[in-house]
Amino acid sequence: MNIAVIGTGYVGLVAGTCFAESGNDVTCVDIDAAKIALLNQGRVPIYEPGLEEMVRRNAAEQRLGFTTDLTSAVQKSAVIFIAVGTPQSATGHANLEFVRDTAKAIAKAINAFKVIVTKSTVPVGTADQIKQWISEETAQPFAVVSNPEFLKEGAAVEDFMKPDRVVLGGDDAEALETVKELYEPFVRTGNPILVMDSRSAEMSKYAANSMLATKISFINEVSCLCEEMGADVTEVRRAMSLDRRIGPHFIFPGVGYGGSCFPKDIRAMIGMGGTRLEMLLLQAVEQVNERQKAILVEKVKRHFGADLTGLTFAVWGLAFKPRTDDMRDAPSITVIAALLNAGARVQAFDPEAMDEAKKIFGDRIGYAARNYDALAGAAALLILTEWNEFRRPDFRRIKELLKAPIIFDGRNIYEPSDLQKLGFKYYSIGRNHG
C-alpha cells in the first residue's frame, strides 16, 4: 500500500520506517528541509536504537522516501498519517496549529478518496475538527481515523513492531479495516487491535499517559515521606510491586518525569477538563512533579549551603530518560538551572543528548567528552539519567577525580551500603540515609 506520513519526528519516522519494513511504500514528509536532506543522505536526525539501520535498509530498497513535497506524497498515497507535533500552548492546552496546517495542506492536495489517520496525540474531538477543516477546503471524499501512538522513546522501533495494543477510532468501517490491515503484521502474536469511536480513542492516549505520570508522582511522594519517616522507598517499592494488582512498572522514584509527552499531555488533559471539570488528581500529579524536580538541588544545598558560588558540579545524564537524545522538558534542565542560579558551575556528560543540551544551555555549562572527564575538580557528582553505562562505574576513579567523594543520585542506581563502604557520602531519593 502507498502511505504518506506527515511529520518525520520521533513518531512519524518510526511509524513510516516500520510500515516500510512490512512491505509498504512509504513517503515521509516534513516541512523541515534540513531534516529531510539529512534523511535523504541516510542519516537519522534523532537517536533511537535500531532505527538508523532500518531507515537505510528500507530507503535502499526504495520502499521509504523523504520529501518536503506534501502534495505529491498525498496524491500518490491511499492512507495519510498525521504525525506532527502537538506541543503545549501558552494556556497549557494542546497547540493544534501544526495539525490544522497539515489538514488544510492535505485538503488542498486531495485528488481521490483518502484515509487520513491521526497519529499525533490530540485532544478529544480533534477528529471531528479535522473533518471540518478538510471539508472547508475540498469536496473530495475522505475518512478520518484516530490512531494514537503509544511507543516509548528509547524503545520506539520495538514498541511499534510489537505493540501491546493498537487503538483505532472512527465511524467509517472501510477506512478502519484499511488501517487495521496495515497493523496486522505487527500483531501476529495476538495482541489486540481495538476499534472504538474516535473520541474514546483520543481519550485513551491521554488517560494512559496520565496514569503513568500519576504512578511516578505517587511513588515520588511516597519517597519523600519515606525520607521524613526513616523508611527506605526501595524496600517499600519492592513490597508494593509484588502485589499483582499494583505490579512492578513505573513505580521507581527519581527527579521527576519529563520528556515530550507526559508534561504536555497532563496539562492538555487538565485543559480538556477546563471549567467543566476540575482535574484535581492531575493537578496534584503535576505539583508533585514540580516539587520533585527541586529535591536533588535541595539536598545539594543542605550539604554545601545555599550559595554554591565557586563550586563545580559534575552531571551525568541530561536526556529525560536513557536510550534517547530527547531533552524536551527533561528534569535535568530544571536541576542545572537551579545549580547555575545558586552560583555553581556545571560540567555535564550524556551519551546521546549533548547536542540537544548545547541548544538549551549553550556555553553556560561545560560539556565533557567522556563521563569521567566531567568529574575533574568537581565538588560532587549528580546523576540525573539512569543510563546503563553509569550503573557500574569505576568508583575509585570517581573518588580520585572529585574534590571530595560525594554523589547525589537522582535515580537510585547505586546501593547505599556499597557506596558507604567505598567511602562516599551518598545521597539518593527516599532512602533513609539522607
Measured from the CB atom, is 27 or 58 closer to ligand NAD? 27
Is 9 among the residues that bind ligand NAD (CB under 6 A)?
yes
Instruction: Report the sign of the C-alpha dihedral through residues 68, 329, 87, 364, in that order.
Output: negative
Q: How far apart are CA 353 and CA 351, in angstroms?
A: 6
Q: Mapped to the 3 state alphabet, what secondary structure does 154-171 carry? A: CCHHHHHHCCCCEEEECC
CA dist 173 and 39 (Å) reads 35
- The verdict on 29 binding ligand NAD (CB under 6 A) reads yes
Among 3, 12, 39, 48, binds ligand NAD (CB under 6 A): 12
Considering the rule CB under 6 A, would residue 7 count as an interface residue with ligand NAD? yes
Rank residues 2 and 432 by Cβ distance to ligand NAD and give the closer one: 2
- Could you give the angle at which helices 51-60 and 10-21 cross, rounded to 10 degrees? 50
Q: Cα separation of 380 and 403, whole Å?
A: 7
Could you say whether residue 257 binds ligand NAD (CB under 6 A)? no
Nearest partner of 425 among 401, 392, 399, judged by Cα: 399
Taking the complex as a whole, the smallest distance from the CB of residue 87 to ligand NAD amounts, in Å, to 8
Virtual CA dihedral for 6, 109, 182, 37, nearest 10 degrees? Answer: -40
SS3 51: helix
Choices 28-36, 57-65, 355-363, 375-383; region in contact with ligand NAD by CB under 6 A: 28-36
Alpha-carbon distance of 110 to 130, in angstroms, equals 14
Query: Least distance from C-beta 182 to ligand NAD, angstroms?
Result: 17
Identity of the residue, 265 or 386, whose beta carbon is nearer to ligand NAD in the bound complex: 265
Nearer to ligand NAD by Cβ, of 54 and 375: the residue is: 54
Q: Which of 106, 145, 261, 357: binder of ligand NAD (CB under 6 A)?
A: 261
Site mask for ligand NAD (CB under 6 A), range 137-176, x = bound: ------------x-x-x-----------------------
Which one of 1-9, 138-146, 288-296, 398-406 is the stretch in contact with ligand NAD (CB under 6 A)?
A: 1-9
CA distances to 237, 311, 347, 432 from 255, in Å: 16, 22, 19, 17
Total number of residues binding ligand NAD (CB under 6 A)?
26
Does 121 participate in binding ligand NAD (rule CB under 6 A)?
yes
- With 0-12 CB in 10 A as exposed, 13-18 as middle and 19+ as buried, what is 394? exposed
Q: Which of 166, 175, 119 is nearest to 144 (CA)?
A: 175
Q: Is 32 in the site for ligand NAD (CB under 6 A)?
A: yes
CB of 9 to ligand NAD, least distance (A): 2
Q: Does 123 bind ligand NAD (CB under 6 A)?
A: no
Query: Which amino acid is residue 70, in one-letter code?
Result: L
Read off the C-alpha cell for 241: 510491586
| Identified binder of ligand NAD from the candidate list 58, 260, 371, 428, rule CB under 6 A | 260
Contact between 289 and ligand NAD per CB under 6 A: no
Q: Please report whether residue 120 would count as binding ligand NAD according to CB under 6 A.
A: yes
48 binds ligand NAD (CB under 6 A): no
Question: Which amino acid is located at 371 in the chain?
Answer: N
Say whether 18 is catalytic: no
**62: phi > 0 → left, psi -120 to 50 → alpha, else beta; which?**
left
Catalytic residue among 18, 28, 226, 261: 261
How many residues does the structure list for the chain? 434
Q: Which of 1, 22, 31, 301 binds ligand NAD (CB under 6 A)?
A: 31
Q: How far is the CB of 98 from ligand NAD (least distance, A)?
A: 4
**Contact footprint for ligand NAD (CB under 6 A):** 6-12, 29-32, 35, 83-86, 98, 101-102, 120-121, 149, 151, 153, 260-261
The residues annotated as belonging to the active site are 261
